[in-house]
Amino acid sequence: DVKVTQSSRYLVKRTGEKVFLECVQDMDHENMFWYRQDPGLGLRLIYFSYDVKMKEKGDIPEGYSVSREKKERFSLILESASTNQTSMYLCASGVQGTRYEQYFGPGTRLTVT
């Protein structure tokens, strides 16, 4: 089975802190994704990566950055956390092919106070 893990299930940070969310997948997938999920808005893509050291902006990249130094690990960075970044963050990985199916981690619920 595909396994995608995220470093924390729950995280509480203060406004202005630098926040790192880590995601690791064990299936040698090329693609990795970061989403945020808010009630009534569904999932929105923040950043994604096709390969090591490659990154592409999604629909809502403002206030975020990412790092992919190794194929299995994709990090989301909040340079200076703000209260409007309080959300559920979901990481996913996927293999390139005809379906481009994505497999998700358990999510990190981040609260910024």
Interface residues with other proteins (CB under 8 A)?
9, 31, 33, 40-45, 48, 50, 58, 88, 90, 92, 94, 96, 98-107, 109
Question: What percentage of the chain's residues is helix, strand, coil (to nearest 5)?
Answer: 5, 55, 45
Q: How far is the CB of 13 from other proteins (least distance, A)?
A: 19
Alpha-carbon gap, residue 94 to 86, rounded angstroms: 26
Cβ 77 vs Cβ 18: under 8 Å = yes
We find the least distance from the C-beta atom of residue 24 to other proteins, in angstroms, to be 15
Task: Report in angstroms how near the CB of residue 21 gets to other proteins at its nearest.
Answer: 14
Cβ closest to other proteins, residue 16 vs residue 106: 106
> Are the C-beta atoms of residues 25 and 103 closer than 8 Å to each other?
yes
Identify which of residues 31 and 75 has a Cβ nearer to other proteins in the complex: 31
The backbone torsions φ and ψ at residue 83, rounded to the nearest 5 degrees and listed phi first, read: -60, -30
